[in-house]
Amino acid sequence: MTYHANEKGYYGEFGGAFIPEMLYPNCEELRSNYLRIMAEPSFQEEFHQLLKDYVGRPTPLYFAERLSEKYQTKIYLKREDLCHTGAHKVNNTIGQILMAKKLGKNRIIAETGAGQHGVATATVCALMGIQCVVYMGEIDIARQAPNVARMKMLGAEVRSALSGSRTLKDATNEAIRDWINNPVDTHYIIGSVVGPHPYPDMVARFQSVISEEIKWQLKEKEGRENPDYVVACVGGGSNAAGTYYHYLDKPEVGIIAVEAAGKGIDTTESAATSALGKVGIIHGSKSLLMQTPDGQITEPYSISAGLDYPGVGPMHAHLFTSGRGEFISVTDDEAMTAGLEISQMEGIIPAIETSHAFAIFDHRKFEKEDVIVINLSGRGDKDLQTYIDYFKL
């Protein structure tokens, strides 16, 4: 039994490539080349050199002493918030921009919700001198102005997605439509472990540097590679996929996924896909998604713009339905409270996405000897206004 993708991009029953024929050549070109390109020594060398010198890896694995004391267990934080651009997203965009170059593409498109992936994409495009177009929902453009400005300053063109609900899922639709209209010169950098095969697997592999580092860092600190639990928040699920990756097939390591319950899973304002979703097709992949009984994809809600995606990546859908992963839903209020706590106990202001992961201690008890690694996926600068409004700071 493996929890990795098979050669057709399936995680159990989830994944695959449910795409219109117009996208088949694009995806096929990527599918038939990505593993070979990623295995090339020149690719690996450039990828790791950029992760080291440009992104600032390895990111520290930090023992959170005060937090551990409070919750009577051993808590380590994987500091992805210290990556260049402020989150794990850049691990993937570095990998994909190198992939695009190897495939001879000279134009990059991306979708973004809160703007983190858009900024990470605009950053690597500036680094490589490649044209960049980022699709962003009209509503998100209005509420994430600083990230829009960052992308523009980095030289990217930000295009407003005007269709549907004008948020992340619609930005993704627009990016896919752009790719249909520009199949030859353009590479689409998807920001999460979603989309048609090979994207979920490719993005997970680029993000797997997170768990690769956790292994040797934990060995140094605890004398063992395997923690008892790895914990991450899940929207689409890229930081989680990177955190779990090298532990997926190690049953002794517990996998905990934290979803955004928004105002509660018994309300209409939630993004907890495992609790509220059903099997279906979203953005070219079979997964769990929030939808009407009629199969129309619904608009999720979370206070965190990075978690309000109506689906999860197929890896996570499989972790959930197989029981390999433990899924916990955390409300806006619980996440905000946890974010404030980590700020004041450890001196780290986390992204609101990440704050969700810190709220698990309200939901679950751990043993004193347990070693828990939480992925601190991003820093909270981008969310300052939301924190200010929420806490009336």
Partner 1 sequence: MLNSFQHLQNTMNRINQKLKEDKKLLSIYFTAGYPDLNDTVQVIQDLEKSGVDMVEIGLPFSDPLADGPTIQESSTTALHNGMHTELLFEQLKDIRKTVQIPLIVMGYFNPMLQYGVEAFCKKCHEIGVDGIIMPDLPLDVYQNEYQAIYKKYGLVNVFLITPQTSDARIREIDEASDGFIYMVSSASTTGAKAGFGDTQEAYFNRISEMNLKNPQVVGFGISNAETFAHATQNAKGAIIGSAFIKHLTSHGVGKIDEFVSSIR
Beta carbons of 328 and 138 less than 8 angstroms apart: no
Q: What is the Cα–Cα distance from 273 to 234, expressed in whole angstroms?
A: 9
Q: Does 297 bind partner 1 (CB under 8 A)?
A: yes
Catalytic residue among 74, 78, 80, 89: 89
Candidate ranges 67-75, 143-151, 295-303, 333-341; the one touching partner 1 (CB under 8 A): 295-303
In terms of phi and psi (left: phi > 0; alpha: psi -120 to 50; beta: otherwise), the region of 317 is alpha
DSSP per-residue string spanning 353-388: HHHHHHGGGGT----TT-EEEEE--BBSGGGHHHHH
Catalytic residue among 80, 111, 334, 353: 111
Site string for partner 1, 81-120 (x = CB under 8 A): ----------------------------------------
DSSP per-residue string spanning 194-214: -SSTTHHHHHHHHHTHHHHHH
Pair of tokens at residue 227: 């923690």
Nearer to partner 1, 2 or 181 (CB): 181
Q: Does 180 bind partner 1 (CB under 8 A)?
A: yes
Q: Does 31 bind partner 1 (CB under 8 A)?
A: no
Known catalytic residue: 163?
no
Q: What is the Cα–Cα distance from 340 to 344, expressed in whole angstroms?
A: 6
Considering only 242, 284, 314, 350, the residue that binds partner 1 (CB under 8 A) is: 284
The candidate with the shortest Cα–Cα distance to 231, out of 249, 210, 200, 216, is 210
Pair of tokens at residue 156: 């990217």
Candidate ranges 18-26, 54-62, 225-233, 359-367; the one touching partner 1 (CB under 8 A): 18-26
Residue 215, SS3 per DSSP: helix
Nearer to partner 1, 285 or 302 (CB): 285
Nearer to partner 1, 18 or 62 (CB): 18
Known catalytic residue: 89?
yes
Nearer to partner 1, 80 or 174 (CB): 174
Buried b (16+ CB within 10 A) or exposed e, 123-159: bbbeeeebebbbbbbebbbeebeebbebbeebebebb
Nearer to partner 1, 21 or 369 (CB): 21
Considering only 1, 20, 39, 347, the residue that binds partner 1 (CB under 8 A) is: 20
Which residues, 6 or more positions from 35, have their beta carbon under 8 angstroms from its beta carbon?
none
Nearer to partner 1, 131 or 165 (CB): 165
Q: Does 200 bind partner 1 (CB under 8 A)?
A: no
Size of the site for partner 1 (CB under 8 A): 36
The candidate with the shortest Cα–Cα distance to 111, out of 153, 156, 143, 145, is 156
How distant, in Å, are the alpha carbons of 26, 98, 392 from that of 385? 39, 34, 10
Q: What is the DSSP letter of 105?
A: -
User: Dihedral of the CA atoms 193, 190, 58, 43 (nearest 10)?
Assistant: 110
Q: Does 280 bind partner 1 (CB under 8 A)?
A: yes
Provide φ and ψ at 351, rounded to 5°: -60, 150
Q: Does 25 bind partner 1 (CB under 8 A)?
A: yes
Known catalytic residue: 377?
yes
| CA diameter of the chain | 56
Q: Does 17 bind partner 1 (CB under 8 A)?
A: yes
Considering only 41, 223, 293, 347, the residue that binds partner 1 (CB under 8 A) is: 293
Considering only 68, 182, 226, 322, the residue that binds partner 1 (CB under 8 A) is: 182
Catalytic residue among 208, 211, 238, 377: 377
Q: Which of residues 137-166 bind partner 1 (CB under 8 A)?
A: 163-164
Considering only 291, 302, 377, 386, the residue that binds partner 1 (CB under 8 A) is: 291
Q: Does 296 bind partner 1 (CB under 8 A)?
A: yes
Nearer to partner 1, 227 or 310 (CB): 310
The residues assigned a catalytic role are: 89, 111, 377
Residues that bind partner 1 (CB under 8 A): 16-25, 163-164, 169-170, 173, 176-177, 180-184, 278-284, 291, 293-298
